[in-house]
């Protein structure tokens, strides 16, 4: 990160009054004085409450497989790490996690995995989606759990098949909207353009589309981060997940020069707020990576304008094998402990839990009501 200096120019709170343009986004991301940061936090939370209400929506997170065909330079489950024990949950294990999610009254779940497009895996996911929709339908949730997928770049045909099976949201992070930075983070077999194409085809198929970036990447500037937010807006994104970059010791970026811990946490929180100002009605997650760096990082995320959390429901036996970065929290808590911990954290943040609801973003709901 090379935060370019804005000199000693004091922060102008007037930037909080309107939808921020690029310069204003940059000014928000440069704020460091505690009173300025507090003003940004309070304005972001106020806007969230106004535009989206005080509900925090849960997505039970099932990490279904850590097998991965990609070799991203930052990721702890990249294919060339041979010390990772590779696992794939079976159908019954996945369904059991989904039922736990429904019993916990989480209205939605996220099915996440390493990137793999083998037939056997796609068939497994399609079958699971169909069963989850059928077997979690109840009076409280007549259409069953809302299902978000986070399985990386797949073919249009696979995206379509999984949508038709019943998934309705897809998360695919762009990691950085700066193509040069994207290229530094990935082998040449992965291209920025094809990831953008995937985001476009997900939208065309009918998914609610989520993306996001890592914050504090080597070589990333505050200008890059402002451009990331403009990228989210230009893609008409429905939901956003972003978090601090945490170098993993067994990856090529293990020794990358990154901003100090406190700076990465603050930048991540300011990114949540700045994104909320620019895209007021999207869902923004308070991500686990934030909590990995700060024990109360997720609560802070809520205060800076986030409204989604992803409690772990991955079986404890494999959670340790799915560590994209070191310091992943909640490795030892069971799902019930995770739930009570999150309930307490949300109450502390003065917010309510949106139980038994899909919790689609207002942005997505509006688009559905007013098709262009």
Binding of ligand 5AD by 325 (CB under 6 A): yes
Nearer to ligand 5AD, 108 or 190 (CB): 190
Burial group, residue 188, by CB count within 10 angstroms (0-12, 13-18, 19+): exposed
User: Which residue, chain included where needed, has tokens 């978090």?
Assistant: 243
Q: Whole-number minimum distance, CB 242 to ligand 5AD, in Å?
A: 8
Select 136 or 291, whichever has its Cβ closest to ligand 5AD: 291
Minimum distance from residue 350 beta carbon to ligand 5AD (Å): 28
Minimum Å distance from CB 103 to ligand 5AD?
26
How far is 255 from 227, CA to CA, in rounded Å? 26
Which of 136, 153 has the CB closer to ligand 5AD?
153
Contact 215, 3 (CB under 8 A): no
Return the number of the residue (108 or 136) whose C-beta is nearest ligand 5AD.
Answer: 108
Min separation Cβ 76 and ligand 5AD, Å:
6
* Structure tokens given for 15: 């930037």
Can you give the three-state secondary structure of 204-231, one letter per residue?
A: HHCCEEEECEEECCCCCCHHHHHHHHHH
- Which x/- pattern over 58-77 shows residues binding ligand 5AD (rule: CB under 6 A)? ----------------xx--
Binding to ligand 5AD by residue 322, rule CB under 6 A? Answer: no
* Number of chain positions touching ligand 5AD (CB under 6 A): 12
Please give the C-alpha separations between residue 274 and each of 215, 264, 284, in angstroms, as whole numbers. 13, 15, 11
The partner residues of 308 in beta bridges, in order of sequence, read 57, 285
Rounded to a whole number, what is the distance in angstroms from the first to the last CA of the chain? 38
The least distance separating ligand 5AD from the CB of residue 328, rounded to whole angstroms, comes to 10
Strands (E), 129-177: 146-150, 169-171
State which of positions 74-93 bind ligand 5AD (CB under 6 A).
74-75
Kindly state the tokens that stand for 326.
């070191």
Chosen residue from 25, 324, 335, 342 binding ligand 5AD by CB under 6 A: 324
Q: Is residue 182 a contact residue for ligand 5AD (CB under 6 A)? A: no
DSSP class of residue 86 equals P
- For residue 172, the minimal CB distance to ligand 5AD (Å) is 8
Which of 44, 279, 289, 310 is the binder for ligand 5AD (CB under 6 A)?
A: 289
Closest C-alpha among 283, 281, 312 to residue 19 = 281
Report the length, in residues, of the chain. Answer: 372
Q: How far is the CB of 292 from ligand 5AD (least distance, A)?
A: 8
CA distance 58 to 36: 30
Phi, psi (rounded to 5 degrees) for 203? -65, -45
Rounded CA gap, 117 and 108, in Å? Answer: 24
Binding to ligand 5AD, residues 204-223 (CB under 6 A): 214
Give the shortest CB-248-to-ligand 5AD separation in angstroms: 5
24 or 169: whose CB is closer to ligand 5AD? 169
> What is the smallest separation between the CB atom of 243 and ligand 5AD, expressed in angstroms?
6
- Cα 209 to Cα 64: distance, rounded to the nearest angstrom: 20
Binding mask 238-277 for ligand 5AD (x = CB under 6 A): -----x-xx-x-----------------------------
24, 131, 173, 298: residue in contact with ligand 5AD (rule CB under 6 A): 173
Which residue of 175, 227, 228, 299 would you call a contact of ligand 5AD, by CB under 6 A? 175
- DSSP E strands: which ranges in 77-130? 108-113
Q: Hey, how many other C-beta atoms are within 10 angstroms of the C-beta on 92?
A: 10
Residues in contact with ligand 5AD by the rule CB under 6 A:
74-75, 173, 175, 214, 243, 245-246, 248, 289, 324-325
């Amino acid at each position: 990160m090379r935060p370019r200096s804005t000199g000693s120019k004091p922060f102008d709170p007037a930037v909080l009054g309107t939808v921020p343009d690029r310069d204003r986004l940059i000014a928000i991301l440069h704020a460091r004085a505690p009173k300025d940061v507090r003003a940004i936090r309070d304005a972001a939370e106020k806007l969230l409450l106004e535009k989206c209400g005080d509900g925090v929506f849960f997505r039970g997170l099932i990490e279904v497989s850590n097998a991965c065909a990609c070799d991203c330079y930052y990721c702890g489950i990249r294919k060339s790490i041979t010390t990772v024990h590779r696992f794939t949950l079976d159908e019954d294990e996945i369904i059991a996690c989904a039922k736990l999610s429904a019993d916990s009254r989480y209205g939605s779940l996220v099915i996440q995995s390493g990137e793999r497009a083998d037939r056997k895996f796609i068939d497994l996911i399609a079958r699971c989606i169909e069963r989850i929709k059928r077997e979690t339908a109840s009076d409280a949730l007549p259409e069953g759990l809302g299902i978000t997928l986070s399985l990386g770049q797949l073919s249009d045909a696979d995206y379509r098949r999984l949508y038709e099976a019943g998934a309705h949201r897809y998360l695919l992070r762009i990691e950085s909207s700066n193509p040069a930075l994207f290229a530094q983070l990935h082998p040449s077999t992965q291209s920025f353009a094809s990831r953008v194409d995937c985001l476009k085809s997900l939208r065309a198929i009918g998914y609610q589309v989520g993306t996001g970036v890592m914050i504090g990447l080597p070589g990333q500037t505050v200008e890059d981060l402002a451009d990331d937010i403009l990228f989210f807006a230009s893609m008409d994104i429905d939901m956003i997940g972003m978090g601090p970059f945490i170098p993993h010791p067994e990856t090529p970026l293990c020794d990358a020069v990154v901003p100090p811990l406190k700076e990465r946490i603050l930048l991540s929180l300011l990114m949540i707020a700045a994104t909320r100002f620019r895209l007021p009605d999207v869902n923004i997650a308070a991500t686990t990576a934030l909590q990995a760096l700060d024990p109360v990082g997720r609560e802070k995320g809520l205060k800076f304008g986030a409204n989604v959390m992803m409690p772990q429901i991955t079986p404890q036996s494999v959670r340790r094998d799915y560590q994209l970065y070191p310091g992943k929290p909640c490795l030892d808590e069971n799902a019930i402990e995770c739930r009570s911990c999150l309930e307490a954290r949300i109450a502390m943040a003065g917010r309510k839990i949106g139980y038994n609801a899909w919790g689609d973003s207002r942005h997505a709901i509006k688009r559905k009501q007013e098709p262009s």
